[in-house]
Structure 1
Amino acid sequence: MVFEMLTMCIKPMSFLNLLRRTIHTTMNTTWKFATIFQIYFLVSVLCTDLKKENPFRMSKVNAVWHKGQKVLKEKRLSDLYADLQVQDRREVDLKLRKTEGVDNEGLFEAQVRKEMAVILDRYGLTRHFPGENYSGSPGYQPNENGSLPLNIRDNRLKDLLNKAQIEGFSDAEMSLLHEEMHHHQEKMDEYEQLRAEYEQLEGKIDNSVENIDDQTDTYARMSDVKKEMKAKHKEVQESLKTTEDRVKNPGVHEIFQDPRVYHLWALAQKAEMDENELSSIKTELEHFERRIKKAEYMSGKVRSLEEKLQSGQDVNPADQASWREKADFQNRKVEKYHNDLKLRIQRKFDEL
């Protein structure tokens, strides 16, 4: 029966009709509703995995996901997926409200469109949707504290930001990068102000012999400004190098390194868990990542023994079989733990 349900992933009404018929003939009324919900939830999650090309219900959200898969990498792609999980629900809600005629003034629609615009900006995808009228875009906002969007004027910073947006940077990394770029831009502005003052002082200089004594203060100020410019220029260069190093070495400050674990963490952060729930999930994910490393070590040991055998070296068959058994066992545990965590986090999304 479950297999037949899975074949109906793209036909939810057919699936529900089949489920109702089966439950009606096999179970009393008390448990019918609960069982329908439990089985539907399980199969819907499995269906999502089977339909990875279109994991979301709304076509516009899937379009953003498809583009993100082409231009983003690893952790940044996981962050996008988590944001789109929430956005997909908002888009579905908007569609229902339009159908029921409860958003006549269009206020909710404007809010949903603004939220999509924020996502497109955050991941550098806005330019890929020129035909969409996502108005009210506030620019990239890595923080939720109401800080103003970054106004980058230095082309070198723009290049670094674009690279970071497609290189797999998480929201935490982008937030830190945003802060560093803000400080760098401030240093650049201070340097430009000093240069403008120096040029203004130069314009006041009268090179005639009779006026030299009257311009002592101007020459003294020009000397001071020149020293300040030199020191500020050094600060600007050091600041730029720090920012470049951060973009060239992404992931150094990330909590999780394994893509599977980070993907779950990105989803958990968007599932509106309270502080205790999120802390608990984080602890479990840390344990999960340790399990993954253990399984990878054992799998590596198996590969090493196989390579030795293929190169003609002596390998104890019992040792090889033992390591293969251990590796298979650990990999099964990792897969089971991964599926359990994924289902638990998905349930939190369903509660939103």
Structure 2
Amino acid sequence: MDGKKDTRGLESNSLKDHDVNEGDMFEDPRLDKLWNKAKSSGKFSEEELLSLKREFQHHKEKLQEYNIMMDTVSRTEEIHKNEISPLQGDSKEHALHRKHTELKESMRSLNQGFERLRKLSHEGFSADSEFKEPRVIELWETARRANLSDDELESLKEELKHFETKVEKHQHYQEQLDLSHQKLKHVETLGDKEHIYRTKEKYNSLAEKTREMGYKMKKHMQDLTSKISRNARHHNEL
């Protein structure tokens, strides 16, 4: 592997919390206010605060995805307005309608997610919660609202347990990557080129592995989300 492989993009995404101000950690005033209130409430253990922080981080990522989607739709509308022709009109209108539907669903999910964060911040974690990881909890709660049969829910619960193991493994790798990044920064201050090269090799290898796991985890989550949606539509049609 090339020790000089450029991972600046990865670092800027996954490690940016090292450089961010604690007061605006989540880049959204409502989230920051809720987080600071929960953190200073004294009702969460250190472990629970870490779990809560992951919940907030997940919501921040969903907000970013929504903003990207909204920007894409706006630019698409502008392009269609300037280029529309009678032959293409219907297909473009259909595509835009689908995008607007996705936007509405995304906004609904964001509102539900924020309400869940607000409740968590005030009431704390439930002792009998089925899962711990934010993405898995969100999928499970979506499934429970989807009018699925008991057998389908039980089957999905097993799938989600396997998925949660993957999420936790990726979280572990992400933490190791953060530590590796800190070590690399320290080694670079020492000026030993050979040591820097070996440390950078290890960091790049770990970064690649973490990125690959993140991609597979995201794909798995999309598959589970699609499965829940299909099953929900099937029951609603019956």
> Structure 1-normalised TM-score?
0.35
Greater relative contact order (Cα < 8 A, sep 6+): 2
> Structure 2-normalised TM-score?
0.50
Q: Which has the higher helix share?
A: 2
Structure with the greater alpha carbon radius of gyration:
1
